[in-house]
Amino acid sequence: MDETGRARWMVLAAALSFSTGGAVIKLCGWQGLQVAGGRSLLAAFVLLVLVPETRGGWTRRTTLVSIAYAMTLFLFVLSNKMTTAANAIFLQSTSPFYVLLLSPRLLGEARRRDDIVVIGVMAVGMSLFAFSGDSASAIATNPGLGNTLALASGVSWACTVMGFRWLSRHGEAGGAESAAVMGNLLVAAVALPWVGRGMVLGGPVDWACIAWLGVVQIGLSYILVSRGMRKVDALEASILLMAEPALSPFWAWWVHGERPAPFAVAGGVVLIGALVGRAIVDRARRVAVP
């Protein structure tokens, strides 16, 4: 297998690992803040040890971006505790909607005509979640609030992505890596009192869940996707990473028997379709330019 083939498998493996987050968060008996803090503490350690770029470049700009990333980490965990894994990942996947809306003003990036179409399609997909009618359960205790937190995580992730672009424009090499570690350390610091209580009360399954989430689902997966994308173009990477929202509901169903509402599934399909479609159009436009 050549280098490009191995890179594709790296990105796909990262997406598969990312997709397990919802099911494993629900499996862990710790409270949301405990899960977020324990997961981020381990993830920060893995990144600091294995990625040298994360040990420097801690500036005011990276600090600002790390706050947006930390909010994403918090909100995603809390939303998964309160709503279905499908809703949590689908609604977080709305982040490109906010990037398209905000990047012209915040980053000065021109908006194309087809971006308006993508925004409209994604708005339709998002609106379908209002009709999902999810009811509370033992693993989705407050679907309404959970959906709201998941939407907020989409906004914070959009801010993180735009922050990464902002760091790159200011020539801060390794800024994204530094912001990722700082964000995880911030989550761990804020959640430390709850993490400590979890260390006393947690059982073997809880510890196994936190180890998977911190070491593999964030730490090693981040390394895989960052290295894989050095050889995989944007279109392939975008499509391969769609395995995360596509498979997250499957893991939740397989582990917990969780079934997302039909309208939520329809909304997720529309959102994923809009993102894949835009990636294909972008690729076609780049190929057409000599």
Q: 140 with 146: CB under 8 angstroms?
A: yes
Give the whole-angstrom CA distance, residue 80 versus residue 54: 28
Domain count, the chain: 1
- Report in angstroms the alpha-carbon separations of 251 from 68, 133, 154, 237, 275: 27, 21, 21, 22, 22
Residue numbers of the domain that contains 41 = 3-288
Give average pLDDT by consecutive 10-residue segment, the chain, 290 residues.
80 92 94 91 94 81 92 95 92 88 81 80 84 74 91 93 82 77 94 70 88 95 84 74 89 91 86 83 62
* Number of neighbouring beta carbons within 10 Å of residue 289: 5
Give the whole-angstrom CA distance, residue 167 versus residue 178: 11
Question: 111 φ, ψ to 5°?
Answer: -100, 130
Bridge partners of 137, per DSSP, are 140
Output the six-digit token pair for 17: 């690992």
Q: 167 with 176: CB under 8 angstroms?
A: yes
> What amino acid is encoded at 145 in this protein?
L
- pLDDT for residue 67: 95
Q: 147 with 79: CB under 8 angstroms?
A: yes
Question: 179 φ, ψ to 5°?
Answer: -65, -35
**140: helix, coil or strand?**
strand
Q: 75 with 150: CB under 8 angstroms?
A: yes
- Report in angstroms the alpha-carbon separations of 96 from 76, 172, 196: 16, 23, 36
pTM of the model: 0.89
